[in-house]
Structure 1
Amino acid sequence: MTFNPYHVALAVIGIIVILSRWLPRLVSRREPASAPLMILFGASASLMVPGLPVVPDPRVSPLPWELISELTVIVALFGTGMRIDSLRPLRRWAPTVRMLAVAMPITIFAVAGLSVWIVGLTLAGAILLGAVLAPTDPVLAAEVQVGPPQEGAEHPVRFALTTEAGLNDGLAFPFVYLGLIVAAQGLAVDAWGLEWFLRDVIYRIGVGSAMGWAGGRMLGYILFAVPRYSTLAETGSGVIALAGVLLCYGSTELIEGYGFIAVVIMGLTLRRIEEHHVFHRRLHDFSESIEHALTALLLIGLGAVLPTLLVDLTWRLVLIALVLLLVIRPLSGWIALLGSDLHLRDRAVVSVYGVRGVGSIYYLCYAGSHVEFINESQLWSLVGLVILLSTILHGFSVGWAMDQITPEEGKSRSWR
């Protein structure tokens, strides 16, 4: 008797998801850290379960990985924007701005420098690697983010990590393009530097922000205003809102803006319309369910190909992964937050908990589909290892870390 590989895969996926969500509850009452278990169980299944279909190698077939990870990040970013109950006072954004303007560039250039010095990557590959590994992932960082809409009690630490995760995926894109340009045209900065700055930094960020605001206003009008006697927010499901998110993302990309920025701005804008309407909570829960399903498939798939990806792993790549997670991210975050109103413990948590994940998969697939990098196998080995280590280190310690942050009544002066 032979088994259909497709049905074997479905059964294995179901078992892995159930075990990953259920087993941690046997030892802890916290929300389970399922991400690392899905990766580890996916790797174990690929090695031990006969008859499983072969998962496409992202180095050879990046397109399916790019599309699934892109859709996952889109849904996650929109949900991140929807979570923010209040944008004011504006000073509450100070830690976010510091993390985006200081910590992320430091991380990019530190990873790039180490990659050239220790591993011997090309400069283009090193810049790309820095951009790929710099952003805090909006998908796997849910445990450190604020709660669903209308829940309130948005602690400064959770607000900073939520808004950082929402915005830094799009803001890392200029550096991805920088890596692609260096790979194609070399270091002749005078030939392409101004064009890169005006197009990939100013224009694309501006267009993404404007399209997100316009998309949020338009979707709010459709959901809450017309027709007044039978609004979609009262009778419709979240599918119409998801369609609006896809429309906003796709149209922004068509005019070469950053769609990732557009969808998070769209979520922030839509959340300001009829703020207390119950539809916001329903929409968030709907998008979160889709996000969790896509994330599970991606993580199990990553685990399945991880043994293959890690074949090219060297001690130098392991060193860079550990330095990134244990030194570069915490140190760059601490430097960025020096002089901020966050308490010392809060500053430490924000600095450390920059989870790497699905966004890194998308960026590397995107770049690999546009330019053939000399060091691509090494890049995939390192990114796979970083995601695995990040989900383990952060996933199993996040509950304890959240217990250490300053209680609401002692929160920073900037929130008063």
Structure 2
Amino acid sequence: MTSATGEAAWLGTRARIIGAIAVLLAVLGTPATAADDFRTFLNGLWPEAQQLGVSRATFDTAFRGLKPDYKLPDLIIPGRKRDDSAGQSEFTSSAMDYLNPKYLARLAVQGRKFRQQHKQSLDRIEKLTGVNRDIVVAIWGRETSYGSFTLRHDAIQALATEAYVGRRKDMFRKELLYALKMLQDGVPRKKMRSSWAGAIGLTQFMPSEYYSHADDGDGDGKVDLFDSVPDALASAARQLANKGWVRGRPWGYEVIVPQNGDCSLEGPPGERPIRDWVALGFNQPDGKKFRPEELNYGAYLMMPSGAYGPAFLVTDNFKVIREYNTSDLYALFVGNLADRIDGGGDFHIPSAKIAQPRTVQVKEIQKRLIDLGYELQKVDGKIGSNTRRQVGTYQKKNRLKIDCWPTEAVLTHLRSVAASQPQRQ
């Protein structure tokens, strides 16, 4: 490359960068204007904060000099393309990657040691709440690897940014207000380190959950989710109990899908007593039998990789774990880790290495299925149980291979069906 050519290329790159900055500034305004807009937004929170008992001094101190963190995921900023791959791993990883057997095995070893160290607290928590101790320990392991993860964000900044330009502004606005209330009630700001989504403490509570489910596990008359292991464990268990945990009931069971069964049966709409699943040919691996009382449990089929991985019959307690973090993979991770802590092992059928479809592809499939009358509530690009169920139902109806996975082949077929239909006037 000649020096003239190199200089021209450099100038071209420089011009593109300057142009991109100009576009962004034109949308967001000048830096001063953007800062003023953020300050106006924060000031507008005062009436609601005051209603929660936050003093003006606490309010002003919390927001003094605060700037938004535009590096956080899940933001909607004019002129900037959303990066769907930067969000929660529960929604961006394949089942094989998320349910990593080596990582689960390592956490299980740590979990058994942890369970023994905190046996007295766990005895008390299990007796009072009915929540299985191994589930509580597994949540601890999943959320912060038993407290070893360093939370990188200031909760106030993270929540304020998400409330200002996040995709779920209303939810984060509420959480920001409760975070201010925590400061008012004496929680030190330096303790309030969080995930990018503002989850705080050893077992990752949202600030509003602090006021709904926090529990004094060590009996010292106060709740400390940041440094007290008994408090954090008790609070996690209390949250599960408050959301409907059924004492003595497993979260679910791995099952073998019979030849006449398929993944289009998946999801909450297909819930039925386990005895009915057994009648359809769904049984546990290695010839293990369900106990008589288990046959009466309601359960639905869960296949996180569609036809390319393990299948589970999951109970009401799976739904409760899922409310702790709204993700099928999260609930399966916690459930399997709890089983491993109690002496269990890996899934009998591992998840295959299959391509994780791009978000834009999943969204288009969801939209086209909705247009055809399939029962999907939203277009979000996430491969949840209902998306898999509806993909499988579509495949079955159109005599395609039934794998319940939103592949390029499914999208191509959906496009061809749309192209063959008369255009609406």
Report TM bin, short chain. Answer: under 0.3
TM-score, normalised relative to structure 1: 0.23
Q: Which has the higher strand share?
A: 2
Q: Which has the higher helix share?
A: 1
Rg bigger for which structure?
2
TM-score, normalised relative to structure 2: 0.23
Structure scoring higher RCO (CA < 8 A, sep ≥ 6) equals: 1
